[in-house]
Amino acid sequence: MGTSQGVGILSMPYALSQGGWLSLAIFITIAAICFYTGILLQRCIDSSSLVKTYPDIGELAFGRKGRIAVAAFMYLELYLVAIDFLILEGDNLEKLFPNASFFSSFHRIAGGTRQGFVLLFALLVLPTTWFRSLDLLAYVSLGGVLASAILVASVLWVGAADGVGFREGGVAVRWGGVPTAMSLYAFCFSGHAVFPMIYTGMRNRRMFPHVLLICFIICTLAYGVMGVIGYLMYGGSLRSQVTLNLPARKLSSSIAIYTTLINPFTKFALLITPIAEAIEGVLGLGTATTGGKPAQYRAAAVSVSVRTALVVSTTAVALAVPFFAYVVALTGSFLSATATMLLPCACYLRISSRASGKLGVLEIVACVGIIVLGLGVIVIGTYSSLKQIVQSF
């Protein structure tokens, strides 16, 4: 949940405005399901000492095709979250500097103020993707929880002390917006790709369920509080990111927006690097670095080229499809729901049936039920998101 946390919490009020108050039941249900499937991933890892990562689980369950399928969904999700970060930066920088004439050259090249800021951010963040060691950025990104707390506090302050108030009643349910809300809720809990690495890296693995439960409770409360206060403040007029609704030239608004802007800058390289390393592995760069100085220089040049190409391609998509909520919803419905609902249950059923030969009836019913629900989220949410993106052009 770490890499996408800053994006998910911004879209929570919009998600609630799309689905209505009763959609909070869907939100809580998805949170509970994702916690359970996180435990299923732990059980899959415990079944073999060779399993260390999510793709390893896919391979243990379904062979090489399973590894490829799991890895493809992981990397595509990271790619789309990187695009979400670029769109987010452009939207919020335009909110801060609507008449930024000092960036006029970027604006002319990109075709507008928001597009100019997207291009500027891409250029600034590009060098951070070239480094193979991301230890510093990894530590900085741990501040995501603190940033989320500051963001919630700032938005709450705008509502309580800056004259906006909590006057909007909202609606009980908006059936037409439920698919979008459901997809955005699924995106909020898209952290399963890193759960195996966290679990295998723990000294006391028996604490994992407790740690996972605490993390889910904190994240669910943070998302829920942000959604409720944002919906009470702006109701049906909410934009895709709650920061875009905040009043201009208020200190609390500026704190919220600046906090939002810092998060993608510290995490963008963490999203791009796993994809780049997978591509570099296919190109055989891991072995090239041991063949002397010339081979190392060539490997470094190819590595920089691969990472630059990834930044260029994500920037191009962000400029071409600047619809933050719809891209996030597409990520949540098609990729996050697959990685958090479908794959954990399918892998667990396959691995457990091989290992022990028998499963509890409740486990089978729960896993099959989650798979059916996940397929519903994937089909309905993906169709709704793609339809909205096409209609927005």
Region label for 292, one of left (φ > 0), alpha (ψ between -120 and 50) or beta (otherwise): left
Domain ranges (residues) in the chain: 4-392
Tell me the CATH architecture of domain 4-392: Up-down Bundle (1.20)
DSSP annotation string for 170-190 = --S--GGGHHHHHHHHHHHT-
Q: Can you read off the two tokens belonging to residue 214?
A: 């605490």
Q: Which helix (H) or strand (E) holds 141?
A: helix 135-141
Q: Summarize pLDDT for 113-169 with one digit per residue, the tens.
A: 788 899 999 999 999 888 766 555 555 555 666 788 899 999 999 999 988 999 898
Give the count of beta carbons closer than 10 Å to the beta carbon of residue 136: 11
Chain CA centroid to CA 127, Å: 22
Distance CA 176, CA 20 (A): 10
Q: Can you read off the two tokens belonging to residue 52?
A: 């260390």
Query: Per-residue confidence of the chain (393 residues) as pLDDT tens digits?
Result: 555 556 789 999 999 999 999 999 999 999 999 999 999 999 999 999 889 899 999 999 999 999 999 999 999 998 998 999 999 999 998 888 877 655 555 555 555 678 889 999 999 999 988 876 655 555 555 566 678 889 999 999 999 998 899 989 899 999 999 999 999 999 999 888 888 888 988 889 999 999 999 989 988 999 999 999 999 999 999 999 999 999 988 899 999 999 888 878 878 888 888 898 888 888 876 555 555 677 777 888 888 999 999 999 999 999 988 788 899 999 999 999 999 999 999 999 999 988 766 788 899 999 999 999 999 999 999 999 999 989 887
Q: Assign 3-class secondary structure to 301-322.
A: HHHHHHHHHHHHHHHHHHHHCC
- The set of residues, in sequence order, having a beta carbon less than 8 Å from that of 384 and lying 6+ positions away, is 179, 180, 183, 329, 333
- Residue 226 burial (C-beta neighbours within 10 Å; 0-12, 13-18, 19+): buried
